[in-house]
């Protein structure tokens, strides 16, 4: 199903998933690459429907209920990217902290950084 050149790259990602979830994740990756238009789970499944095993809802659960770690997946992806950057090239990271210095209830994007557990009505964290 996967091209031989992509197998080592995709195999590195398996550490973030349990085996059944990883098999579904691979099919979703293939479907996302081949799908035309929006890359929704339904569109990717429609593209690879002949390769799909089981009910479509089990593929939707990869993102909603299946136990996998986005942190591990991100670390593996970062390592794969950094391996391919030559040592003499700088690594430039983009960080958006524009909302960090502004105060008030109506600051755009501030809700993304709102800590609901530690905040109260009078003190927003």
CB atoms within 10 A of CB 80: 13
What integer pLDDT is reported at residue 75 of this predicted model? 92
Pick the more confident residue, 33 or 103. Answer: 33
The 10s digit of each residue's pLDDT in 8-51 is: 888 888 888 888 888 898 888 889 888 888 888 889 899 888 88
What's the structural domain count of the chain? 1
Distance CA 81, CA 11 (A): 15
102 is a domain residue = no
Q: What is the mean pLDDT of the chain?
A: 82
Residue 56 domain boundaries: 7-68
> Which comes out higher in pLDDT, residue 37 or 110?
37
CB count within 10 Å of CB 22 equals 19
* Residue 85 domain flag: no
């Amino acid at each position: 199903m996967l091209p031989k050149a992509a197998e080592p790259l995709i195999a590195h990602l398996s550490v973030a998933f349990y085996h059944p979830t990883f098999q579904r994740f691979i099919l979703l990756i293939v479907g996302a690459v081949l799908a035309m238009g929006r890359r929704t789970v339904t569109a990717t499944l429609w593209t690879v429907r002949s390769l799909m095993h089981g009910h479509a809802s089990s593929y939707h659960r990869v993102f909603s209920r299946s136990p996998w770690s986005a942190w591990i997946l991100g670390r593996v992806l970062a390592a794969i990217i950094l391996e391919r950057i030559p040592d003499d090239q700088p690594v430039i990271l983009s960080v958006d902290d524009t909302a960090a210095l502004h105060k008030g209830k109506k600051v755009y994007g501030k809700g993304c950084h709102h800590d609901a557990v530690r905040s109260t009505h009078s003190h927003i964290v």
